[in-house]
Amino acid sequence: MNYRLKLMYDGTRYAGWQRQQNAQTIQGELERALSVITREAVSTIGVSRTDAGVHATSYTANVHLENPIDSYKLFRGANALLPADIRLIEAKPCDESFNARFDAVQKTYLYRIDTTPHGNVFYRNYAWHVPQALDLEKMQKAADCFLGSHDFSGFMAQGGSSKTFTRTIMDSSFTEEDGLLTYRITGNGFLYNMVRIIAGTLVWVGKGKIAPEDMPAIILSKDRTRAGMTAPAHGLTLLRAEYADEN
Amino acid sequence: MNYRLKLMYDGTRYAGWQRQQNAQTIQGELERALSVITREAVSTIGVSRTDAGVHATSYTANVHLENPIDSYKLFRGANALLPADIRLIEAKPCDESFNARFDAVQKTYLYRIDTTPHGNVFYRNYAWHVPQALDLEKMQKAADCFLGSHDFSGFMAQGGSSKTFTRTIMDSSFTEEDGLLTYRITGNGFLYNMVRIIAGTLVWVGKGKIAPEDMPAIILSKDRTRAGMTAPAHGLTLLRAEYADEN
């Protein structure tokens, strides 16, 4: 039986999603909990390999189990066994063919930037602290340039597994509240470190290091050295993934 | 020279505001940082003795220094020395007579309640997890009963230093977003543990253990045993204090 799982996690203490031999990871913790409950060796599939320090408010995964188990038992059991910074939000049986990684049709990430001079203690693990005035109007103008379909080779770190580099972005927008900038980006897929490189580039735009007018040429150049720095992982949160069957 | 300070802190790791010999406290950390910067033995006065685990987004304190120091130097120096979960938001010279504790004319607290079945990982240190449906309409009806001036002896824990028990409440209201209830209460003063006892009582109303219609009589009774439980400290945040000279 195939189960679709939704998780929420604070990535601060973890070396990312993916199972590792010698480090604590979200997938490792989840599989350990599920193994205890089901008494099976389980292998989960996650929507994305989030980096160390990256968070998720709704992360989709799936797991095939030999022996069917009541969804509510799975939910209660997992939350009793998982550490407090990882929660199972939902568990339900799904089509055998469902694959959390390959069936995702779009994903939305948030990147948070704390521009207060002192730094907000409640966002110290969830936002990049950039203690200076950023030109939000220019940042939004530059953010608009990512909308639509582009080859994002210039906004990709080495080490990813992607074979194609064109992605379509449907939302790329900022909101601001009490000095906290929240950048929201929705796309049909993302290259390795793409959101963090885009966020770092937009902060450079806000600082005046890159002009928003130059963004289209920077994207077209496919040259990583023309984009900005990779923004730190802890500012990034996977908000959610969408699947065709949910529409 | 007297300085007015505004602080923000995540109280999770601390044994509350007040300086203690053998425990880490906010006041202790602040005074240690200020002593290093000023090379004086400093003694701060804080608006409130927040309990262990209680947070603050804007906590007012004041400190008398022998030797005047530039406010910006104080701000920069303190934030360089303080741990990441305590930040100095603002420092400015003020009238010699200013006293952060006795001059406060009103304070506003937030009490957060997480009603999601799984618990929101991002609120695990900032909200009380009550994983069940609460009747928000009844809770608001009961919360209205606290408005105005009342003798709050029945909503006070032993151990406070108050000599009078009548307090005036100007705001007592709930908002709800994604399963997170935020209770906001503003008053001219609060007795020891008063907000946590009120929050615990309102949750009991939400569960149906106390009827909102009984609240006026429970207040009038001045009987602690008729109110609800003391809600846990970590759900409580001091939002800010107001002073007459700011109006």
Predicted confidence (pLDDT) per residue in A31-50, tens digit: 999 999 999 999 999 999 88
Directed axis angle between helix A136-144 and helix A194-207, to 10°? 140
pLDDT over threshold 80, residue A51: yes
Q: What is the pLDDT of residue A120?
A: 97
Q: Within this chain, do residues B130 and B241 fall inside the same structural domain, yes or no?
A: yes
Span A230-243, average pLDDT: 97
Asked if the Cβ–Cβ distance from B79 to A124 is below 8 Å, we say: no
| B32 and chain A in contact, CB less than 8 A | no
Please indicate, yes or no, if residue A213 is contained in any of the structural domains.
yes
Q: Within this chain, do residues A116 and A216 fall inside the same structural domain, yes or no?
A: yes
pLDDT over threshold 80, residue A198: yes
From A9, A87, A121, residue closest to B9, measured CB to CB: A121
Task: Compute the distance between CA of residue B183 and CA of residue B128 in angstroms, rounded to an integer.
Answer: 12
| B88 and chain A in contact, CB less than 8 A | yes
Q: Within this chain, do residues B242 and B121 fall inside the same structural domain, yes or no?
A: yes
> What's B62's domain CATH number?
3.30.70.580
DSSP per position, A166-185: EEEEEEEEEEEETTEEEEEE
Burial of A132 (0-12, 13-18, 19+ CB in 10 A): exposed
CB A25 within 8 A of CB A17: yes
Q: How confident is the model at residue B162 (pLDDT cuts 50, 70, 90)?
A: confident
Directed axis angle between helix B71-81 and helix B26-38, to 10°? 120
Please indicate, yes or no, if residue B117 is contained in any of the structural domains.
yes
> What's B176's domain CATH number?
3.30.70.660
| Residue A3, beta-bridge partner list | A63, A93
Q: Decide which of A94, A125, A142 is a domain's last residue.
A: A94
Task: Compute the distance between CA of residue B111 and CA of residue B180 in angstroms, rounded to an integer.
Answer: 10
Burial of A7 (0-12, 13-18, 19+ CB in 10 A): buried
The predicted complex's ipTM stands at 0.91
Q: What percent of chain B has pLDDT over 70?
A: 99
Tokens of A104: 């995702």
Position of tokens 């189960």? A3
Q: Within this chain, do residues B85 and B135 fall inside the same structural domain, yes or no?
A: no
Task: Compute the distance between CA of residue A184 and CA of residue A186 in angstroms, rounded to an integer.
Answer: 7
| CA B47 remoteness from chain centre | 9
Span B18-43, average pLDDT: 95
Task: Compute the distance between CA of residue A170 and CA of residue A106 in angstroms, rounded to an integer.
Answer: 9
Asked if the Cβ–Cβ distance from A89 to B57 is below 8 Å, we say: no
Q: Within this chain, do residues A111 and A211 fall inside the same structural domain, yes or no?
A: yes
- Best residue in A26, A118, A123, A124 for a mutation probing chain B (most B CBs within 10 Å): A118
| CA B205 remoteness from chain centre | 22
pLDDT over threshold 50, residue B120: yes
Please indicate, yes or no, if residue A140 is contained in any of the structural domains.
yes
Q: Decide which of B48, B68, B94 is a domain's last residue.
A: B94
Question: Catalytic pick from B51, B103, B135, B214?
Answer: B51
In total, how many domains does chain A have? Answer: 2
Q: Decide which of B69, B94, B119 is a domain's last residue.
A: B94
Question: Rounded to whole angstroms, what are the CA distances from B156 to A86, B54, B152?
Answer: 36, 17, 7
Q: Within this chain, do residues A67 and A173 fall inside the same structural domain, yes or no?
A: no
Q: Within this chain, do residues A121 and A170 fall inside the same structural domain, yes or no?
A: yes
The whole-chain average pLDDT of chain B stands at 95
- CB under 8 Å to A73, separation ≥6 — which residues? A37
pLDDT over threshold 70, residue A173: yes
Q: Within this chain, do residues B224 and B118 fall inside the same structural domain, yes or no?
A: yes
Q: How confident is the model at residue B192 (pLDDT cuts 50, 70, 90)?
A: very high
Q: What is the pLDDT of residue B210?
A: 96
Task: Name the residue in chain B with its Cα closest to that of A7.
Answer: B118
Span A217-240, average pLDDT: 96
Q: In terms of residue numbers, what domain contains A29?
A: 2-94
Q: What is the pLDDT of residue A110?
A: 98
Please indicate, yes or no, if residue B215 is contained in any of the structural domains.
yes
Span A232-247, average pLDDT: 90
Q: Within this chain, do residues B21 and B113 fall inside the same structural domain, yes or no?
A: no
Task: Name the residue in chain B with its Cα closest to that of A122.
Answer: B10
Please indicate, yes or no, if residue A33 is contained in any of the structural domains.
yes
From B57, B85, B121, residue closest to A9, measured CB to CB: B121
Residue B72 amino acid letter: Y
Task: Compute the distance between CA of residue B4 and CA of residue B243 in angstroms, rounded to an integer.
Answer: 11
Please indicate, yes or no, if residue B100 is contained in any of the structural domains.
no
Q: Within this chain, do residues A122 and A71 fall inside the same structural domain, yes or no?
A: no
Please indicate, yes or no, if residue B82 is contained in any of the structural domains.
yes
Asked if the Cβ–Cβ distance from A88 to B122 is below 8 Å, we say: no
Please indicate, yes or no, if residue B222 is contained in any of the structural domains.
yes
pLDDT over threshold 90, residue B160: no
Q: Within this chain, do residues A87 and A152 fall inside the same structural domain, yes or no?
A: no
Q: Within this chain, do residues A149 and A195 fall inside the same structural domain, yes or no?
A: yes
pLDDT over threshold 70, residue A247: no
Read off the pLDDT of residues B54-76 as tens digits, 9 standing for 90 and up: 999 999 999 999 999 999 999 99
